[in-house]
Amino acid sequence: MKVLITGGAGYIGSTICSALLDQGHTPIILDSLITGKIEFTRDRIFYRGDILDTELLKQIFTDHPDIQGTIHCAALIVVPESVEKPYEYYAENVWKSTNFFHQLHQLGYPRVVFSSSAAIYDVVPGYMVNESSPLKPNSPYARTKYMMEMVLQDFCVAYGMKGIALRYFNPIGADPLMRSGIHAKDPSHILGKLVDVARGKQPVFNITGTNWPTRDGTGIRDYIHVWDLASAHINAMQHFDSVIQATDNRACPYQVINLGTGRGVTVREMVIAFEKVYGQTLEKREVDPRPGDVAGSYANADTALSLLNWKAEMSLEQGISDALKWGALRKERLGYE
Ligand SMILES: NC(=O)c1ccc[n+]([C@@H]2O[C@H](COP(=O)([O-])OP(=O)(O)OC[C@H]3O[C@@H](n4cnc5c(N)ncnc54)[C@H](O)[C@@H]3O)[C@@H](O)[C@H]2O)c1
């Protein structure tokens, strides 16, 4: 099958492309390279441009009329930056995506898989969330994801689009064949920071927040290997119509699915696992939570199992090991550590 992937030069999009290629499918990449890497598009069908570029979209669908659906990963994704630059985030993630979905509708390509985020959930007692759990997006970034879920849902009702919003928990690791991985120069996520400390880029790892009401006082997350995440997208595209048919509300061909492991891991547990895989202890210190930090959540992943026939297979240790391997390759692949 042929699939359009926006943001296919990014961390998750490029991994989805690798997984599609490995299974004999054809990804068509649309990426502006605003943050993505040209290195991740080599030997792949790649259109460099913005999702807002109507002419380019027409060209893509003229060149590839047999595209079965779109996986929409393109977005700006850095939470603290979204607090400083809300205009850019709402413009890039909401305004442009709204136009993009409308173009897809007008061009007659109604199937959309949307990269949403567990960051839109409220914190609930016990920390496990299912798709009906209360939402409370806590940053401009998270609000853009929430808003785009609403836009997609409304477009499904009004225009006959068909949408699957995949709420990712915390992606870790890299493509197991090391074709791509995290590319941010200063990763803002925990595992990127741990790798930076292990590689001597940072002197110390900050445990941000030790007084949360969790089992050890540190934040709890659900770390999912990016390769598992990628394979869920393939299942979503392959089972697209049956997933949509399974919706309770016939008038709204739209589904929301959590993508997580179903296992909560605290920051301290993550550090212990990291040190075990790395084989050395790291310099650590306990500091206050960052603005906007929350105790966290982990996924109830039952819907993914029943609708996508998918569950996470790869371990936390595999994710850590792949992140370390990719960390050692970054200089050669991207030109920077
Ligand atoms: N990484 C995470 O922890 C995480 C968690 C939950 C959800 N997500 C979502 O997954 C998606 C992919 O995230 P990622 O980590 O791969 O980020 P990334 O920054 O690596 O990839 C995003 C890609 O989108 C491209 N892009 C951005 N705006 C564009 C535009 N207007 N037109 C064309 N291309 C554009 C960028 O160049 C980049 O290649 C995002 O939608 C993000 O919100 C990510």
Q: Which among 61, 23, 32, 29 is positioned nearest to 45, based on CA atoms?
A: 29
- DSSP label at 40? G
- Report all structural domains of the chain as residue ranges with CATH numbers, in order of start: 2-174+223-260 (3.40.50.720)
Ligand 1 centroid–CA 88 distance in Å is 14
Contacts of 163 (CB under 8 A, 6+ apart): 112, 113, 114, 152, 153, 155, 156, 253, 254, 255
Ligand 1 centroid–CA 279 distance in Å is 32
Measured from the Cα of 183, ligand 1's closest atom is 20
* Residue having the nearest C-alpha atom to atom 43 of ligand 1: 77
* Predicted confidence (pLDDT) at residue 291 exceeds the cutoff of 90: no
Measured from the Cα of 189, ligand 1's closest atom is 3
* Predicted confidence (pLDDT) at residue 292 exceeds the cutoff of 80: no
Ligand 1 centroid–CA 10 distance in Å is 6
Kindly list the catalytic residues: 141
Residue type, 132: S
* Predicted confidence (pLDDT) at residue 188 exceeds the cutoff of 90: no
Measured from the Cα of 119, ligand 1's closest atom is 6
Would the pTM of this model clear 0.95, i.e. be above it? yes
Give the pLDDT confidence score for residue 250 in this predicted structure. 84
* Residue having the nearest C-alpha atom to atom 39 of ligand 1: 36
Quick one: average pLDDT of 327-331? 94
194-243 residue pLDDT tens: 999 999 999 999 999 999 999 999 999 999 999 999 999 999 999 999 99
82-136 residue pLDDT tens: 999 999 999 999 999 999 999 999 999 999 999 999 999 999 999 999 999 999 9
Residue found under tokens 């997609």:
152
* Residue having the nearest C-alpha atom to atom 32 of ligand 1: 50
* Predicted confidence (pLDDT) at residue 145 exceeds the cutoff of 90: yes
Q: Which among 157, 46, 47, 18 is positioned nearest to 101, based on CA atoms?
A: 157
4-34 residue pLDDT tens: 999 999 999 999 999 999 999 999 999 999 9
- Indicate the burial class of 63 (C-beta count within 10 angstroms; 0-12, 13-18, 19 or more): exposed
Retrieve residue 111's tokens. Answer: 């199937």
**Angstrom distance (rounded) from CA 77 to CA 62:** 30
